[in-house]
Amino acid sequence: MNTQTDVRALARMGGDLDLLRTLVANEFPVIIERSFTPEGYDWTGHYQTIVGYDDTIREFYVYDSFLGTGGNGAGITETYRALDENWKAFNRIFIVIYEPAREDRLRQLLGDLANPLDAAAHAFDVAQQEARANPQDAFAWFNMGTSLTELGRYEEATVAFDQAFNLGVPWRMLWYQFGPFEAYYETERYTDVLSYVETNLGNGGEWVEETYYWQGRVLAAQGRTSEAQSAFRTALNRNRLFEDARRTLDALGG
């Protein structure tokens, strides 16, 4: 959006239902990343666009690339509670699309969430409260880890991720969210990074470019340059526009 169109996009973690309603009411299209388990499928990640809401029945109207746009394009309904529960699995990440001329208004509506680090700190506080309320909530622990990783608090993040994995997260989790790779890498827990890379390689995550990127980062750190180069090339084969993989491969001499 930011490089190929005349409009802009802003992504943050730590949203809530009131914010979604406020953005929609002010005519800012907003996309959320959430979990989704359609009939006949396992848990997966998914995106939806919020197009409306009705406080009287406490439902959102959403456009969904899998389910469609509802009758007459009015949107598919989902209760506030169900949407938030599924959104929570992705640390309540949201993407706002806006015209550059309206950026000041958007930032006013976002408040502290306009700053990505403040948004991460807020998301951590919410996840911590949810983990205290239910210590068996794996998503809450995972969200704590994601937020702490964004804040550069890697040692604390690994503790949260360890707890999330011990409690059990969906097997596709690392297809979409890569905080554990980064936190374990930054704390030199290379064995853990490679272990989760192998898990991804055996469950369909071999089509996820980040799988090979983090494999390459560990191999490079271990001095296994040719293997690291191969991993980065595979990442670029999966996504030729993956700039982090390109830069790292170039730094290794291609």
**Domains by residue range for the chain, with CATH:** 8-114 (3.90.70.10), 154-251 (1.25.40)
**Residue 38: what pLDDT?**
81
Strand-pairing partners, residue 11, are 95
Taking 50 as the pLDDT cut, the residues of the chain under it are none
**Residue 73: what pLDDT?**
87
Alpha-carbon span 41 to 39, nearest angstrom: 6
In 3D space, the residue among 202, 9, 208, 213 whose CA is nearest the CA of residue 96 turns out to be: 9
3-state secondary structure of 95: strand
Contact 117, 12 (CB under 8 A): no
**Residue 65: what pLDDT?**
85
